Amino acid sequence: MRIALLGYGNVGRAVARLLESRRNHLEGIGLYPKLVAVADSRGVAINPGGLDYSKLEEAKRSRGSVGFYPDYGRIGVKAVEIISDRLVDVDVVIEVTPTNIVDGEPGLTHIREALKSGLHVVTANKGPLALAMPSLLELAHHTGRGLMFSGTVGGGTPFIRFAEKCLAGDRILGLEGILNGTCNYILSSMEDGLSFEQALREAQRLGYAEADPSMDVDGWDTACKIVILAVHIMGARITLKDVEVKGIRGMTKEYLTEACKRGSTVKLLGSVDAKRGRAWVAPVEIPRNSPLAVSGNLNALTFHVENLGSITMIGKGAGGIETAHNILKDLIELKMKLQYRSI
C-alpha cells in the first residue's frame, strides 16, 4: 500500500511515527504500508522506495519543511501536485491538512482530486466533510474508491465505528453529546472557580486549546462533527450552514455556580434530531447525574436508537496520537475491504 501523506503538523507527524513504530504489527496482519510522499505547506518529499521517518523529522525540525528531505525533498511543490501531476504512484492519500471551515481548502481539493484520480482517501480533516460531505460521498461511490474518516470525530473514542458496527440494523433517531474536549475542560475549570479567560489560558498551557481557540470555544469544531455524524450514520443531507451554532464565550463562573446549586452542570452539546430535522450546538444546563455530565477533557455521545433506546459512549477526545490511531484503523479496514472486494 503506497501512501501519500498530505499535511505534516501534529497529526501528520503522529501518523508517520505510528506507521514506523507499528510496521512489524501491520506486516503481521498483511498490511505493508510504504510512505512514498509527504507534503507540508512549503514543500514535499517524494521517494518511490519509501521515506524514512527520522529523516522527515530532521528536515521538519531543523529546516521547517519536509521539502528539505535529503535528495528527495522539493521546496515550492504543492501537495495537490503529487496527485494531479502523478509525481509518484500512490494507492491511498491520507489528508490531514489544517481544518478550514470557510471553503474547506486545501483539503477539499486534495480529497476531490484523489478520488477523481482513482485513489482511496483517509482523512481526519473536518472542514471538507462539514462543507461538502454528501457530494464527497457521492463522488467516492461513483469512482468506487474508499473515503474513510473515523479520525474526524472522537479522536480516541470510536463513535463512528460503534454506530457503524454495533447499531447496524437499527435506526438512529437522534444524538447529542460533548464532542469538544477543550470546551469541556474550560467549563469544568470554571465550575472550580476559574474565569473563562483563566480557564482558556490553562487549556492553552496544557495543549488542549490552540493559540487561536475560535474553532473550539465558538462551537464550530463541535458543529463540524455533528454534520459528519448526521450525514454518515443518520443519512441526513446537511452541511455546516444548516447547524445553529452558539459557543461558550459568554459563559461566566457565576452562571455555572448557580447551575451547580440547582444540581446541574453546563456542557457544550451538539445535537441532531431526525424527527424535527434540526441540528444545533449550544451550552446547555443538564442534571449532574446525566451520563453526559463528564468532566475534564472527556467526550461523551448519546445515541437515541429506535429499538435499543439511549446508549452513551464516553472517552478521550481528539489529540495527535489518538487521531493517528483512528487513521491507522481506517487503513486496516480499507485493506480488509479491498481484500474482500467490498469497495
Q: Catalytic positions, please?
A: 225
Three cell numbers at 276? 424535527
As a whole number of angstroms, the distance between CA 143 and CA 119 comes to 9
As a whole number of angstroms, the distance between CA 93 and CA 277 comes to 34
As a whole number of angstroms, the distance between CA 307 and CA 173 comes to 10
Q: Say which DSSP state 239 is in.
A: -
Length of the chain: 343
Backbone angles phi, psi at 291, to 5 degrees: -65, -15
C-beta pairs of 291-298 under 8 Å, 24+ apart in sequence: 292/176, 292/177, 292/178, 292/267, 293/265, 293/267, 294/178, 294/184, 295/184, 295/188, 296/181, 296/184, 296/185, 296/188, 297/181, 297/182, 297/184, 297/185, 297/208, 298/178, 298/181, 298/184
As a whole number of angstroms, the distance between CA 259 and CA 265 comes to 6
Three cell numbers at 56? 522527515
H or E stretch covering 130: helix 126-143
H or E stretch covering 300: strand 298-305
- The interaxial angle of helices 320-339 and 10-21, nearest 10 deg, is 60
Torsion of CA 114, 116, 119, 122, to 10 degrees: 50
Of the candidates 122, 74, 72, the one whose C-alpha atom is nearest the C-alpha of residue 94 is: 122
160 in Cβ contact with 153 (< 8 Å) = yes
